[in-house]
Structure 1
């Protein structure tokens, strides 16, 4: 099985998140599981040496992967196709950077070996979801077909922080890509297109199952987790811990004690934005050359 990450740009927080997730994967994976990182800056993963396979991409590749409609998150689909083409007899387990393993992944591995596809968790029927984006998507797509998949009241949105594709269904990725491109061509609002395309394409030939009981996805509490990760990495590297010592230290952490999602007050967010704009630093001093 290939455990796959994708990272681009120069935001070090994104790379730090993947470090943390890789350490958690190493604490849970089997010896023959491979960790692969598709990265725009592979030098930031030199620490792992031969323990992680790094595939370098650049802005030209990213631009090409965005396709005819220049949809950025189409890159995720193309990246997974790249892995499927390189290792056509092995299942693919993709994770967003803001994830971590907190249980053994044997059930996911065995499920994919038996033809099961996975996503992180079921968010609900598109027709009944409540966000503005999801309501608009339902209004735009209800009753339509995309690559012969009809959008009806049973069409379900799954969270794409984890995507597990069985080695028996790697061709599902082409279905996902075709659905994604058809939605772009139809000018569907873009924010969740890639996620919904995975939800539809991976469930066409097999029932999807969730993996949230194995992997945490802290997309709803990133600020808190970024602090945890930064402190963990600082201590690890300042003490010059070896790779496996870091993995063991992480394995001893109780990651369930920190929330992965927190509902923030909209009023607080607006006030914070206003205060940050209103009370700006007015005097700065630099050292002299």
Structure 2
């Protein structure tokens, strides 16, 4: 059996992101035709999801209580919960698992090929984000958020000349040649399960000294990069971590899809509550729209966008939120999103 899992807890916007990701799974990835795939949502807001989608026997809800969540975030590191979810989910639902961050959209019907690779013991992550050595150079040369810069630079400067010693007396020496992979998507099966304990031990060891925000992907990249040639998923799934207002664009698109009745025959979207979602997002992003004078966000309501235009359009609003030159440095040019960034930077947008 194949599973696509989400972790959506806390703020309502994370649940909304998961909704849009699931809609894209139906609209562009042909989910209804893949009867061997189920969705698992670890959440404290199952009532919200059922209110939006109605009941569906291919969506499984796992209650994420505050007590369980706190135990998964041992030491206070939030993203440690993703690793614990992988362990919990694989224990309850053995098969091939794709853990997908909520701020993602499916852009291609490639699920059969993707799960086939996982079933053949290929380990998947979203996309490669340069070596540690390259990331160190970028932080040294490009002015970015000081807190984030200090966090990563401090860790990289340490591992350049030092090792970590775990609680089990295991020495961890991380080479600067290690490739960092984005963990917006993680695909694995039971053959990969035992190494998750090593990932957790590495997280707990390093987090005591360095409160590094993306430590979970650092540890996943190190542990699985030693054993496998990690496979990317960025041509199938897009992780829009770079600009959350992209989800407002996605919502407008799905609003048009719903109005045209394109979800009418979908058992998932029979009772799709588009009004509630749209009102929430307009309120949530109203200040951003005003501050950044993003006229495009208003104009898009009158445009007949095709689905594949969403990502390029989203790339054009980067100029309002983040220096596109920095993103070009951080993300390899040969990656799916790297090619989009290069194209739109060259166009002068």
Common fold, TM-score beyond 0.5?
yes
Give distance in 1, aligned partners of 2:92 and 2:238. 28
TM-score, length basis structure 1: 0.80
Q: Any gaps of 5 or more consecutive residues in structure 1? A: 268-289
Give distance in 2, aligned partners of 1:191 and 1:10. 18
TM-score, length basis structure 2: 0.67
User: 1:153: how far off?
Assistant: 2.0
Give distance in 2, aligned partners of 1:198 and 1:206. 11
Give distance in 1, aligned partners of 2:322 and 2:230. 34
Partner of residue 54, structure 1: 61
Q: Any gaps of 5 or more consecutive residues in structure 2? A: 140-148, 270-305, 324-349
Q: Superposition RMSD on alpha carbons, in Å?
A: 2.8
Aligned pairs for 1:201-280 (under 5 A) are 201-223=223-245, 225-232=246-253, 234=255, 242=264, 244=266, 253-254=307-308, 255-260=310-315, 262-264=318-320
Higher helix share: 2
* 2:100 paired with 1:95: yes
Q: Match of 2:238, SS?
A: strand
* 2:183 paired with 1:170: no
After superposition, give the CA deviation of every residue in 1:170-193 in whole Å (9 maximum; x if it has no partner).
2222221111111123x1232121
User: 1:266: how far off?
Assistant: 7.0
Partner of residue 274, structure 2: none
Partner of residue 217, structure 2: 195
Q: Match of 2:219, SS?
A: helix
Partner of residue 138, structure 1: 156
User: 1:236: how far off?
Assistant: 6.3
In structure 2, the CA distance between the partners of 1:141 and 1:3, relative to structure 1 (3 Å rule), is: same
Greater alpha carbon shift after TM alignment, 69-78 vs 198-207: 198-207
Contact 2:17 2:102 in 1 (8 A): yes
Partner of residue 203, structure 2: 180
Give distance in 2, aligned partners of 1:79 and 1:245. 27
After superposition, give the CA deviation of every residue in 1:11-31 in whole Å (9 maximum; x if it has no partner).
2x2212111111222342421
Give distance in 2, aligned partners of 1:243 and 1:37. 23
In structure 2, the CA distance between the partners of 1:170 and 1:189, relative to structure 1 (3 Å rule), is: same
Give distance in 2, aligned partners of 1:45 and 1:16. 9
Partner of residue 37, structure 2: 33
Which of residues 104, 108, 114 is equivalent to 1:108?
Answer: 114
The number of equivalent residue pairs is 260
After superposition, give the CA deviation of every residue in 1:209-244 in whole Å (9 maximum; x if it has no partner).
111111111111211x22223334555677885472
In structure 2, the CA distance between the partners of 1:237 and 1:172, relative to structure 1 (3 Å rule), is: same
Which of residues 121, 125, 136 is equivalent to 2:127?
Answer: 121
In structure 2, the CA distance between the partners of 1:6 and 1:136, relative to structure 1 (3 Å rule), is: same
In structure 2, the CA distance between the partners of 1:242 and 1:202, relative to structure 1 (3 Å rule), is: farther
Q: Match of 1:3, SS?
A: strand
Give distance in 1, aligned partners of 2:256 and 2:322. 34
